[in-house]
Structure 1
Amino acid sequence: MTSHAPPPRPESDAFLGDLAAIVGPEHVRTSAEDLALALREERGLYQGHALALVRPGSTAEVAGVVRACAAAGIPLVPHGGNTGLVGGGVPYGGIVLSLARLSKVRAIDPLNATMTVEGGCVLLDVQAAAEAHDMLFPLSLPSEGSCRIGGNLATNAGGTAVLRYGNARELMLGLEVVLADGRVWNGLKGLRKDNTGYDLRHLFVGSEGTLGIITAAVLKLFPAIKARATAFVGCVSPEAALAVFSRLRKEAGESLVAFEYLPRLALDIVLKHAPDSVEPLAGTHDSYALVELASPRAEADLTGLLEIVLSEEIEAGHVEDATIAASEAQRQALWLLRERISEMQRFEGGSVKHDVAVPVSRVAEFIREASAACIAAMPGVRPLPFGHFGDGNIHFNLSQPVGMDKEAFLASWETFNGIVHDIVQAMDGSISAEHGIGLIKRDELPHYKDPVALDLMRTLKATLDPRGILNPGKVLAMGEDIPAALPTRKVR
């Protein structure tokens, strides 16, 4: 993996001096050590380059930096917790604009059930601030200890609670955004109804920093969880798991917070490589579901409800065995079996990863069809579909055949992408459910996105960022904003 950094330009020092006058010299970092983490995405698929890492401490300073970049024609890439998985935060020239210093909780309004936070707030801190007022901010991700709310919104993050509470987009009521010319749009209203024209806030959620920089947000809060029940369920097939989900959705309603699917292979890999993991059920099963019910009512008998539904699903032949966590420690142990899948899969050699969505009614069908098609293309390949069954988001990963050379397997990445994404498209699905487009899917997007939608996206980009300085080359390939030398795409 190589970086294609251009040689320094004489005008760079003067430009960096202008930035230092805005944010303070100590907040313009140019050393290789300071830049290292900002130039490489989490999985190491891309390596970029930049003039500096700039750390503004207020919205006004962000606006000043953007104005300076616009005047000089220097690109900038907003930087949150650097937990993205599609290369969307990797810079190719210009500056990295870190929001780490914009980390204040500006206001909490329990009666309005909202909180206003700055874009650099770490997600875990946002959750804790809500808990301090006996409220819940439900967005939850494995990276919640380091990801930042501005990045969560810019990528429309999903996570394990989407089934009940929705994506990041559904958890936001208002935004403050610095535009490409340095103007600040103040849309920080905690309103559920505001019918005064175009709903501008939704342009920036999911835009991956290509249309504006989210510096603050008004977030929805919910009643704190007072009762919870978690079960690990062994099912006879993906179709059976879907039947269990359908039944629970009818019986539990809004109490059904999570329904995560994993095949036996996923559980085998976690049990094999995570030394403190324990087999959750007595036997082995084709498919598993991790189910969680939650309620703000302490007296809610969620365990009793789970017992009734699962017993009836055993009689119906969908469920073979199940266990309900009897303590918080047992609950956390069950969740770790799900959350460690991606981490442990790397010990099985090369893997090709897909983050896709299909209608919930077709998730079992998708798993069957995509698995069969990939095995037909490469006998011995090991499909590992898992994820958010209840909202149609499947992480369709493929582990290399046992004994196969890793690089030889990864050479088939484009072939598997075509197979999986074509099936997703035929089912009216999406090639990106929660990870975004970034660089890794940018060149595939025109094959699967409606051409009129793409044209509207390009029009929005050209209107809001006519000079192409905001995170150039990401999501859309547009003229001069394409990086001069994109690295070869890889999947591990």
Structure 2
Amino acid sequence: MKHFIDQCRQLIGSTHVLTDSSDMTSYLTDYRQRYIGTAAAILKPANTEQVAEIVKLCAQHRIAITPQGGNTGLVLGSVPDQTGRSIVLSLLRLNQIRHIDDINNTITVEAGCILQQVQNAANSVDRLFPLSLASEGSCTIGGNLSSNAGGTAVLHYGNCRALCLGLEVVTPQGDIWNGLRALRKDNSGYDLRDVYIGAEGTLGVITAAVLQLFPKPASQLTAFVAINSVEAALALLNLARSNSKDTVLSAFEIMSSYSLALVKQHFPELKQPALKEHPYYVLIEFSSQDSEAANCAALENLMTIALDTGTAQDAVLATSLAQSNTLWQLRESISSAQAAEGKNIKHDISLPISQIGTFIQQTDALLQQKFNGCRMVTFGHLGDGNLHYNVSAPKNSSIDDFLAQQNAINRVVYDSVAQFSGSISAEHGLGAQKRDEILRYKSPVEMQLMRSIKQALDPLNIMNPGKVVQPLP
């Protein structure tokens, strides 16, 4: 290992090879501060060529690689295991905006670019890069692509896979595949881009990408709506779709009353809308390329119909960008508020949209039967079927005792998800946390196909081993 570390120092400079434990801790600790891995070193290359040379050295010495961006993942996909026979490959220095083509509506960026940096670069040429996440100030494009991130704009723009046209990837052999094609049509063989997106670094290292840009909306308006049930939210979603003919329904988020109460408790400085308490709330965003007046008329018409029919109980319309940002901040602060309340058990699931109400009703009841008093923090992207269905411990109970039941709680939730033909991972990925869990819910044929791809591309099993899928024996 010493010889390998010395070679790395010669390659990228001693400053960018971290071996002191105090320097390594932040790279080895998962985002939720619950797991700490070990590694021989943290390597911070400056460009794709250095990444390729590091991978070649790792293949030669049979050293595992954990690619890492902003380390904001929630399923232990971006931290190493505890064997100590791996390195963390930090891509944060690959942070250049390589090219913006405002005619083709594309931007070519390196994997270490922070998402907010890409959003700002798009804005500088009067364009929109629509991927939006609560962690956009720290997560990286490479990590977004590796987990096929979703966020709040999937309803209209799609997830990361839909936003990416081309990739640059370093293979497990240290070769560089230049697939940075800024094409919307390219039917010239297997779509290698889609193999790497969502693979969580298990098949290669994404080092750059061509991303799609969109015209900036001339108007974006937000409404915060009180409703009595998830079924009412689904009815409101159908109304919103039918009333957005001249506008775009760009976001439709749901949050339970308890979710919002946690935000009020832990972030009292955030101004809450002047609405009476109801079981659920919906955040709706309409966007338009036309005038703000037309957009406002569409949203007001929707609210009039929803209130007159009893679909909605009350509503607040943002009349300024500042008010809209405040409403969005309430939604984006739910995870932080739940963390401030105490440790919890997260579930990032997706379901057929029409089944979400029945799923919540049935699964809530099952959890209360088996884990009486558990508190449900339910929120998410209702418009695309992605629910963050999180479970907090009963009030005044032992957190350790509660977390000891995590596997049993997961089983109730995931079995229910399977019953409704859903997925146990909507946008967070599998990582190490759900790698074995997925075996219960994917067919042997599907798992064998995944293992075959892993074996074919990474026969030495050095790319993020232990994540997503176990290799063939």
**What's the TM-score, normalizing by structure 1?**
0.93
AA partner of residue 116 (structure 1): T
AA partner of residue 62 (structure 1): V
CA shift digits 1:239-294 (9 cap, x unpaired) = 00110011101221561111110111111111122121333133111111011111
Q: Is the 8 A contact 2:94 2:110 kept in 1?
A: yes
What's 2:321 paired with? Answer: 328
Q: CA deviation at 1:187?
A: 0.7
The answer to which of 296-305 and 106-115 deviates more is 296-305
Q: CA deviation at 1:479?
A: 6.4
Distance 1:300 1:87 in 2: 46
Q: CA deviation at 1:300?
A: 5.2
AA partner of residue 24 (structure 1): G
SS at match of 2:313: strand
Q: CA deviation at 1:213?
A: 0.3
What's 1:154 paired with? Answer: 146
Q: CA deviation at 1:100?
A: 1.2
Matched, 1:47 2:40: no
Match of 1:399 among 392, 399, 415: 392
AA partner of residue 41 (structure 1): D
The answer to which of 274-283 and 378-387 deviates more is 274-283
Taking the TM superposition and a 5 Å limit, the aligned residue runs for 1:295-334 are 295-299=288-292, 301-334=294-327
Matched, 1:77 2:70: no
Taking the TM superposition and a 5 Å limit, the aligned residue runs for 1:42-441 are 42-92=31-81, 93-253=85-245, 255-299=248-292, 301-441=294-434
Distance 2:431 2:439 in 1: 13
Q: Is the 8 A contact 2:272 2:330 kept in 1?
A: no
CA shift digits 1:459-486 (9 cap, x unpaired) = 0000100000011111112368xxxxxx
Q: Is the 8 A contact 1:350 1:407 kept in 2?
A: no
The answer to which of 442-451 and 248-257 deviates more is 248-257
SS at match of 1:452: helix
The answer to which of 91-100 and 214-223 deviates more is 91-100
Distance 1:311 1:165 in 2: 27
Q: CA deviation at 1:170?
A: 0.4
SS at match of 1:266: helix
Q: Is the 8 A contact 2:348 2:426 kept in 1?
A: yes
Identity of aligned residues (%): 48
**What's the TM-score, normalizing by structure 2?**
0.97
Could you list the runs of 5+ residues in structure 1 that have no partner in the other structure?
Answer: 1-11, 481-492
Q: What's the Cα RMSD here?
A: 1.3
What's 1:7 paired with? Answer: none
Distance 1:299 1:307 in 2: 12
Distance 1:278 1:116 in 2: 38
C-alpha spacing 1:69/1:138, structure 2 compared with 1 (3 Å) = same
SS at match of 1:459: helix
Q: CA deviation at 1:349?
A: 3.5
Q: Is the 8 A contact 1:348 1:400 kept in 2?
A: no
CA shift digits 1:98-146 (9 cap, x unpaired) = 1111111111111111111111111111111111111010011111111
The answer to which of 374-383 and 460-469 deviates more is 374-383
Match of 1:468 among 453, 461, 465: 461
Q: Is the 8 A contact 1:437 1:475 kept in 2?
A: yes
Distance 2:189 2:17 in 1: 39
Distance 2:400 2:260 in 1: 25
Q: Is the 8 A contact 2:452 2:472 kept in 1?
A: no
Q: CA deviation at 1:299?
A: 4.3
SS at match of 2:265: helix
Distance 1:244 1:187 in 2: 42
Q: CA deviation at 1:375?
A: 1.0
AA partner of residue 327 (structure 1): S
Q: Is the 8 A contact 2:451 2:472 kept in 1?
A: no
Q: Is the 8 A contact 2:40 2:87 kept in 1?
A: yes
What's 2:3 paired with? Answer: 14
Q: Is the 8 A contact 2:226 2:275 kept in 1?
A: no
Q: Is the 8 A contact 1:114 1:220 kept in 2?
A: yes
Q: CA deviation at 1:32?
A: 1.6
SS at match of 2:243: helix
Distance 1:241 1:444 in 2: 31
Q: Is the 8 A contact 2:129 2:214 kept in 1?
A: yes
